Amino acid sequence: MLEHSDNRQAIHSLDALSGALFDLMQEDSFEKITITQICQTAQISRRTFYRHCSRKLDLVDYLIQNHIRELLDSVDFTCTDAALLYRNFFQYWKDHSALLTTLFRHHLFSHFSQTFTKCCTQWMKDSLMLDMLENRTNQDSLRLFYNSFLIGGLCHVLEPWTAENFKTSVHDLTYVLVTLAPKT
């Protein structure tokens, strides 16, 4: 997984390269796209590519991580309104459905799930809605299990939603998840 960089030149290069890969994926299969094609489309040298990446899948990671970072930056982690959190989550991905659709079409959704899980686990050390864990001696373990359940569940809802081309409304998805959520 690529680490986030504050280096403006690195960000510019990675943005250009990942954008080029995304554009090429609209026309050709991920497997057939070469690093040379990506570099030519991005107008970036192969040397620059290899300065930042070891494989083209690193650019997929970069795309996914940027979206996840943007999504998580918009989350109020003190919010306890599950319906609002779910609605915002699904609306974000509906608004950015092109990424999910492209990854799904190229059989990269399991990679999305792995990257999503890693990124969210790092960001959610102090998780949402964990008042129920107060006064427990094993809070850290319980937090890990809760976060795994939440992240895995959300991620696994995205895949069939993408497969159905986002036909189920954000409202209906939110309703189902709030209805299924355990009551404390």
Judged against a pLDDT cut of 90, whether residue 160 lies above it is answered with yes
Highest mean pLDDT among 64-78, 122-136, 158-172: 158-172
Residue 127, pLDDT score: 47
Higher pLDDT residue, 126 or 170?
Answer: 170
More confident residue, 15 or 118: 15
Is 179 or 122 the better-scoring residue by pLDDT?
A: 179
What per-residue confidence (pLDDT) applies to 48? 95
pLDDT of 124 > 70? The answer is no
- The mean of the pLDDT values for the chain is 86
Predicted confidence (pLDDT) at residue 144 exceeds the cutoff of 60: yes
pLDDT digits over 81-107, tens only? 888 989 999 999 999 999 999 999 999
Which tokens sit at 52? 């930042």
The predicted model scores a pTM of: 0.84
Alpha helices in the chain (DSSP H): 8-25, 35-42, 46-52, 57-73, 82-95, 97-105, 109-123, 139-163, 170-180
Percent of the chain with pLDDT over 90: 57
Residue 2 has pLDDT above 60, yes or no: no
* Cα–Cα distance list, 101 to 21, 45, 98, 112 (Å): 14, 29, 5, 11
pLDDT grade for 182, boundaries at 50, 70 and 90: low
Amino acid (1-letter code) at residue 120:
C
pLDDT value at position 146? Answer: 76
DSSP letter for 28, please: S
User: Residue 132 and residue 149: Cα distance in Å, rounded?
Assistant: 15
Higher pLDDT, 156 or 77: 156
Confidence of residue 74 (pLDDT cuts 50, 70, 90): confident
